[in-house]
Structure 1
Amino acid sequence: MKRRHKWAIVALVLLALAGLLGGGIYYIAHVQEALWIKAVTDILEVTAQGRHALDTYMEKDAETLHLLAADLSGEDPADGATLLKKVRLFSESGTSYICVVLDTGTVYTDRQQAGYVLSQEQLDTFLALAESGVRRPFLDGYTGVWTLGNYERFTFADGTVGLVQKTRPLAEVAQRFSLSFYDDTGFSYVVDREGDILIRSLHKNSNRTFQNLFDIVDLQGNESGAVETFRAALGNGKKGVARFQYQEQEYVFCYVPLESVPGWDVISIVPNQVIMEQAGEIIEQSQILLLLVAAGVLVLTAFFLFYRYSTRRIVAAKEEARRAAESASVAKSRFLSNMSHDIRTPMNAIIGMTKLAADQADQPDKVRQYLKNIDLSGRMLVGLINDILDMSRIESGKMVLSETDTSLEELLTGIVKMVQPMVTEKKQQFEVRLLQVQHETLCFDALRLNQVLINLLSNAVKFTPAGGAITVEVAEQPAVKEGCARLVFRVADTGIGMKADFREHLFDTFSREQDSRVDKIEGSGLGMAITKMIVDLMGGEITVQSQPDRGSTFTVELDMRLPGRQLPAEDPLPPMRVLLADDDAATRQSAAAFLRELGAAADIADSGQAAVEMAVAAHGRKADYDLIILDWKMAGLSGIEAVRGIRERIPAEVPVVIFSAYDWA
């Protein structure tokens, strides 16, 4: 009987060992897949950043071309000398501008001393173009260089149709978007929806023979269904990932559609083997751990068979220790994994600013600014890591604030530059408003306040759907403490909000709402706990108002010491009347209040049309405004159009200023 019992125990142990090995193999496979997904996600993010840089590059060319078209629209198409002069005014190194009078076929270019008539074939090429856009790469007949060009149609003063075009060498454009992955083993293309390769990366591995991306994957023996799925994804302008055999290796194709040129995509191609090498060390360690656990099970079995009673106690103790170790390991793994979203914000800023600095290395002023932003993000990243590694110090209240005289303008500018790439990617509306801020320089711990605001803003971005709105308000109020100013920071969003029962535990450690809407959103549950600790340490207060599907508003109130040396008060403006036009009510009221504080009499208009009417009415009363300030982007009549309406009816002596905050860059 005892013999049978022993063999039953052995059988159970062997079954347990088999289950452990099977579970371990499944776990290793799962970890490997998770690491691959994480690596591919990072490649997609870098590809999206490269796409954004190329979009910005093309959009700036389109804006310059639009200005040239607007300038030429008021001219006589027969006045060749004037047209040629204006075209040359826009000339810049490495580019070429032309103006074509489509009705006559006459062309004026910054490369020629006079206009000339196009051949019918050349004219037909321009006539076939749409109203505006980007041409497919073509061979420039003048330079013999492959070229990429933006174009735009317009109408001359007499109604004649014209077209302007700006071109750049294709190699220069390729240099702008070329991306590098995993020790320079990956490369990228720009293709159209049919798979034609339009722009090739300057990378050494970029294939110079094939003209179509689908030809590359078709000739490598890939499954036809996968190729057709890939073709359909590009045709529908989707963002995604595909795997294909290429040059006797498996490659990962990450594709992201361009926003500035519909129908074009940026595709990054990286060897799958290189991606998986990053996970090799982790997998190897997991295999060693699995073998060690299996060996431990065998040792425990031997002890159990020879010393049953003693072994029971040992096994019980080891089982308890194992469970405690597993619990600690799971908690640690969950903690490190969940904190990735807090680390990713400054890391993305560092990567993005590094790419911008590399792209604009010939502009020292911009490079210095990018390096400054990288330094700010790096400091934030170090602060986050220190908090992660030393939570006990935070919870015990041993954190020491480092208060120095700091500029609010520098703090907010750094925050905006870190958050802007995230809101741009999700196409969210992002605004920062200053209300009654009297002191720009105050004494506080910039790193900790930066950490508080970044935590609030990163959560607002994550939990606000695409197209939503995020607003930051900074207001100054009289402080109860002498020698201080009370700053109120409000971060509001139109996101998914929170339930009332969760708000009570919002600032608890590892607290995350159990909701299907947030299950797939990364987070450690530590961000708000750390935020509350820092605010308490700074002697402030943080509150939250939130409703499900209506959004959330976080309010942080802090008393900040005034610097020891006060800056001299700003000189008031001389007596003057100002007309201010903006279609955003909050911005309009804030700017008007600021002007009145400086001593100016400010009238406000809620649209470009209203501004024109008020300016004309004041002129009719012989009481012209001393200054007119217009927002560039307004619904209906834009700032530019409003200026034209004012200039047509009011003398140019009245100064007009156009401002814009639509592009934080």
Structure 2
Amino acid sequence: MVKKQKIFYAMLVISALAIVSVITLFYINQLNQTISDNIINEISEIAEHDKSTIQAYIEICWKDLYEIQERFAGYNCRTFEEMQEHLDLECTVGDFARLCLVTEDGTVYTDGHEIYPPESMARYPDFMTYFANGNDRFVTRFDEYTEGSGPNRESILYGIRLQDFQVDGIRMRAIIGMNDISSIQDKMVIDCFTKSGESRGHSALIDMEGHYIVDINKKVYENEQNNLFAHLSESEDSELTNEEVAEKFAALETFAFYHSHTGEKYKELFYFIPFDEKIRLYFIMSVNEAVFREQTRTFFTMSMIMLVISILTILSMLLIVMRYQIKTIRASEKEKSQKEFLSNMSHEIRTPLNGLIGMNHLIMVHIDDDSQRSHIKEWLRKSHSTAKYLLSLVNDVLDMSKLQAGKVDIINEPMMVDALVDEIAAMQTDNIQGRGVEFIVEKDVIEPCVEGDATRIKQILMNIVGNAAKFTPSGKSIRLSVRQEKTDDTHVMTFYLCKDTGIGMSRDYLGRIFDTFSQEQNRNISGITGTGLGMPISKLLANAMGGDITVESELHAGSTFTVSIPSVIVKEIPDYLKETEKNGTAKESLHSQKHSGPCKILVAEDVELNAEILLEILSMEGFETAHAQNGREAVDLFRESEIGEFGIILMDMQMPVMDGCEASREIRNLDRADAQSIQIYACTANTFQEDRDLALASGMNDFLTKPIDIDVLLKKMGKSGGK
């Protein structure tokens, strides 16, 4: 459940980041668009202002020409000399740099008393062409050239058509005023797009044919281009074609578009705004794209900082919420697991206890009835079997708890693989063959001695083989085999296989076989009991040793369990293993002292009932006993005894006044001949490895777990078994 929640939250975070990324991209796009719109609006305002200023100036120039026309009507000039004198006077007192009159045949009379007939018109253009299409006035650019060089004077021409003005019988058709181009150019200075003294924008005036009238930066003239359409035709990338621009000119539209030339790092934004029908010109502003990017970069940096802060804040809050929810879910699952565990434990413990209490009741009721003696023996046998089941359940629960807490102790020490399999076979042969099942053992061992925890491996295999025995009917077979594969020069993988031809398992149960208290509901196995903890414990133990357990099974076809355990190869087999392999005895024999006959045993036990039972059993086996109720009494009894009087001490580890470990240390430190040789066995309900280590460290020789298995106790003391 927690894994699913983690996956869910991981997907949630990924989705959130994806959404934030999409929003960020959308935001950046909108930011760029907004900045672009803002700059275009700024350009529009500047262009409108400059256009209005220029238009007002042009209107004033035309007005001045009309006023000169009116004054000339009052002058009543009779000769051309008189007319030119008045032109010179108007030019002197007025704002025009030069003035001239144009006759009907195209002759030009200037304020400088110059006359230019049409046939010798080299200095001035044919002014009357500017009044084509019914125009009454015009404004245009005029460059005067010096022979052999470029333009030496750049001017703006203003002209109005004259309706009824004659001098010396000759009709005058137009009056022309001329000013230096700077008169308009000074009104088009752009300061807002200048950085480090470099202008990144310029403005210009063009006519409807695209000819530049005024270009403030003179950029076009430096490139020897004096026409907008010629400039655009050489663009590498342009949003509008020349034809589209011309159409917009004809419609007097206000518009803007981007274009760039080869070798230019940034695009240029051109903004066009027209004058009116009378002044058929366009005002242009051009701004380098770098201006947009710089402003975008500034806003983007600020926005990204705020966005990152916001994202980090949101993610931090999300992680806090996730962590809190995961803790809540874990706590809920832990509580649920604990409830399920307690519920299962209650069922597993109460069921055999019910039978145990019931049989004890029957025994007590019929204890004096000789006719029920056979039944009483059967009830006692069943009580004994039930008590063993309860002990097995308690041991499994303790193992399971420790394994789940990750506190399992794995002791890697040299072990003989063949001997381990032989021990399993020896312990299970009678059980299996007694059920009418064939038992086959196969070994393919290439490295006989490896490092491993023989006790834990035995626990796993006993569990698996024991289950195979329970679920394999008579007439079938069980095959226990071991094989090895070397992984490198120093390591080997050992595979223990248990294959049976029993009732098998369903596919559904295979997915739950390693769950705690998991047992398949099958009518073919009714009456077969188990704790439901054996396989989960085996799985956890195998994993703790770096190995694994896999299962293959099919209903009515049997099951195959494969236990794989990695190990380090032991090249030099220890002497005690060689002796064990030779004699076929277990390792416990190293810790046991064989006694040729009964000896006196000191029992240190604080629980009266336990002491009474143990003393009675030992007496029945022919041992002389003494009882100490705590560790202090045990030490005193041993100190006051004769040398060699006691041969064995059964020492409970948890007692009042002085515990078993402290008592053992004190006994070992006594100054007497048998203080080191006497055998001390720890007797405790604590079965964890640290308890064993603590007992051995205190000077004890061996370890017996409660409830004490009498057969094991007698075997350790050199007896063959109980009666």
Q: Structure 1 length as normaliser, TM-score? A: 0.42
Structure with larger RCO (C-alpha < 8 A, sep 6+): 1
